[in-house]
Amino acid sequence: MARAVPSKYGSTPHAIVLRTTSPTSAVARAARDRIQAVDPTVQVMRVARFAELLEGPLARPRFTALVIGVFGVAALFLAAIGVYAVMSADVRQRDTEIGLRIALGATPADVRRLILGEGLWLAGLGAGIGLAGAVAATRLLRGLLFEVHPLDPASMLAAALLLVGAATLASYLPARRALRVNPVVLLKAD
């Protein structure tokens, strides 16, 4: 950057921006020489790459994005734990029903489909409510987004698919537990 020093040519610019593919040191030397040739009273105080100049103004938005990302991952993890807990409790409460289904000829694939289907239904309901909430909150989100529309279909679809994927994984363990139900033991106990 060039510092403005009064000269016979009037006020000089505070900064000069050059676009080049040459190394910074070579460009700095050439720029200093040319500026001195035009006006010897102007001193070049600092030469920096544009990326370095952007680090300061972009530090806060980058930190905000990092914090939001950490909260997003934590929310996804908590949602997966919640789906797992609900599905686990559901399977535990329905042991007798699942045992009866197996005794009447339900295959492991049928039982797995039953449990995973309920988990996916919960995830779909949560994704639908989340998408509705995101649409309602678009005015608040506009200031946090850079070159992305608040109702970006790709982002919305990716978020919904990520939630459904996490819910599928969270429902898989209770579905495996349901397959280990012994119908003979359960039906004898009742």
**Which tens digit of pLDDT belongs to each residue from 46-92?**
777 777 777 777 788 889 889 999 999 999 899 889 889 988 998 88
Question: Has residue 1 got a pLDDT over 50?
Answer: no
Examine the domain organization and report whether 130 and 158 are in the same domain: yes
Examine the domain organization and report whether 155 and 78 are in the same domain: yes
Using the 8-state DSSP alphabet, how is residue 2 labeled? B
**Can you give the pLDDT at residue 89?**
92
Examine the domain organization and report whether 91 and 122 are in the same domain: yes
Least confident of 15-29, 117-131, 162-176: 15-29
Examine the domain organization and report whether 16 and 66 are in the same domain: no
Question: Has residue 20 got a pLDDT over 60?
Answer: yes
Examine the domain organization and report whether 40 and 61 are in the same domain: no
Q: State which amino acid sits at residue 179.
A: L
Examine the domain organization and report whether 134 and 41 are in the same domain: no
Q: Where are the beta strands (DSSP E) in 103-169?
A: none
Distance CA 3, CA 15 (A): 7
Question: Has residue 9 got a pLDDT over 70?
Answer: no
CB 2 within 8 A of CB 44: yes
Distance CA 89, CA 95 (A): 10
| Helix, strand, or coil (residue 150) | coil
Distance of CA 98 to the CA centre of its chain: 38
Examine the domain organization and report whether 184 and 99 are in the same domain: yes
Tens of pLDDT, residue by residue over 91-147, are 889 888 888 888 888 888 998 999 999 888 888 888 889 888 888 888 777 777 777
pLDDT band at 4 (very low <50, low <70, confident <90, very high): very low
**Can you give the pLDDT at residue 98?**
86
Examine the domain organization and report whether 107 and 161 are in the same domain: yes
Examine the domain organization and report whether 70 and 125 are in the same domain: yes
Percent of the chain with pLDDT over 90: 11
pLDDT band at 156 (very low <50, low <70, confident <90, very high): confident
Distance CA 62, CA 58 (A): 6
| Closest by Cα among 113, 81, 115, 109 to 95 | 115
Examine the domain organization and report whether 81 and 123 are in the same domain: yes
Residue the block writes with tokens 């050059």: 18
Examine the domain organization and report whether 79 and 153 are in the same domain: yes
Mean pLDDT, residues 24-50: 81
The pTM for the full model equals 0.63
* Domain tally, the chain: 2
pLDDT band at 8 (very low <50, low <70, confident <90, very high): low
Examine the domain organization and report whether 16 and 98 are in the same domain: no
Using the 8-state DSSP alphabet, how is residue 12 labeled? P
Q: Which domain holds residue 27?
A: 1-48
| Closest by Cα among 178, 3, 8 to 93 | 178
